Amino acid sequence: MKIKAALFDLDGVLVDTARYHYEAWLVLANQLSIPFTEKENE
């Protein structure tokens, strides 16, 4: 099957992924012992 198109949602119009991005950054920050809050993620 040949791919005819690709769809990117970088601003949350189709899927709200902001929470997942924050949680991923939080995991990394915790591993590096760096404080990281939701406010800093905005």
Structure tokens at 37: 């809050």
Cβ burial of 26 (10 Å; 0-12, 13-18, 19+) is middle
Q: In terms of Cα–Cα distance, which of 34, 40, 41 is closest to 20?
A: 41
Active-site residues: which are they? 9, 11
